[in-house]
Homo-oligomer: A and B are copies of this chain.
């Protein structure tokens, strides 16, 4: 098999046209044509196909994009900061994996923007300089102008894991309310009454929704809401660790903790152990996410599972549907979470 190429430049449409002794636009019509190519004679088409094959012709994506066609690449933008975790950020990994898979189904590639959203002046440029057809924003916060700016500039977008008031950008997320209720009710059903909650960053809708559902569940069960059982913090492990310590230092410490994420749950377990207490006998802990290691953790984590890669897939498929002009769907696409009961929770101990 000989390698057909002249120098190291890829063959252009013009090269193909010349070789096929045909005009440029006809070659374009046949090879890359949006225009129906039925009105080109069969003989001509064959000549063109053959020339293209011989020259290993592949359309130049950049030229095509400049001429107004889609690039078939999706952007992924982190709203807050790109999680750099030494590998621990299973959330982002799973979601991105799903996004890439979903994009792949339609032949789209995915570009990861290195810089998180900052503000319109410094961040909008790369989103509209022709490289991407649309963008998936991960973790937009209520106080960020990222989604509104995207709307202002009519950049096709999908919000992943974040619902922003007044935004018309479609959302793909787990049903946080159901998930948090599942977690809290599980604890209640195990006989717990002193149930604390470790919420994530309050700028994130997933954190505030989980927090509200937690208190609603408590209320439903006739358990009084105690502000000291809901210390504010972030999704950072260190925040989970510190807050758990503080909870344990309370005059009346909780017997159970609903952690806003598995990372927080793991941090909480470590904090509990650092006080020579045990999980679940002294304190029960539920997480949220069901990251891969939850199952292998010691003890295996009881947690609310969200199918992160499916959410990622759904996000890119939705974005692609929008790009193909099928209109922007109303509302949110919420995935049902499942409670996975493992060994980090137990019935409240008597006494």
B-side contacts of A216, CB under 8 Å: none
B-side contacts of A90, CB under 8 Å: 87, 93, 292
- The reply to whether B62 and A128 form a contact with Cβ atoms under 8 Å apart is no
In angstroms, Cα B59 to Cα A85, docked, is 33
- The reply to whether A62 and B56 form a contact with Cβ atoms under 8 Å apart is no
* Interface: A224 (CB within 8 A): no
Given known contacts A97-B84, A291-B87, A297-B296, A8 and B111 CB-to-CB distance under 8 angstroms:
no
- The reply to whether B112 and A111 form a contact with Cβ atoms under 8 Å apart is yes
Interface size class of A (residues with CB under 8 A): 35 or more
Minimum distance in angstroms from A256 CB to a CB of chain B: 21
* Interface: A228 (CB within 8 A): no
Chain B residue at smallest Cβ distance from A108: B114
Task: Kindly identify which residue among B66, B86, B114, B153 contacts A8, using a CB–CB cutoff of 8 Å.
Answer: B153
In angstroms, Cα B68 to Cα A66, docked, is 13
- The reply to whether A112 and B110 form a contact with Cβ atoms under 8 Å apart is yes
In angstroms, Cα B113 to Cα A65, docked, is 18
B-side contacts of A66, CB under 8 Å: 60, 62-63, 66
B-side contacts of A293, CB under 8 Å: 292-293, 296-297
- The reply to whether B87 and A131 form a contact with Cβ atoms under 8 Å apart is no
- The reply to whether B129 and A58 form a contact with Cβ atoms under 8 Å apart is yes
- Residues of A71-89 at the interface with B, using a CB-CB cut-off of 8 Å, are 71, 73, 82, 84-89
Chain B residue at smallest Cβ distance from A154: B8
Top 3 nearest A-B pairs (CB, nearest first) are A58-B125, A62-B130, A104-B114
Chain A to chain B contacts (Cβ below 8 Å), 20 pairs: A10-B129, A58-B125, A60-B129, A62-B129, A63-B130, A71-B131, A73-B111, A73-B131, A82-B104, A84-B97, A86-B94, A90-B292, A108-B114, A109-B111, A109-B113, A109-B126, A111-B111, A112-B112, A293-B297, A296-B297
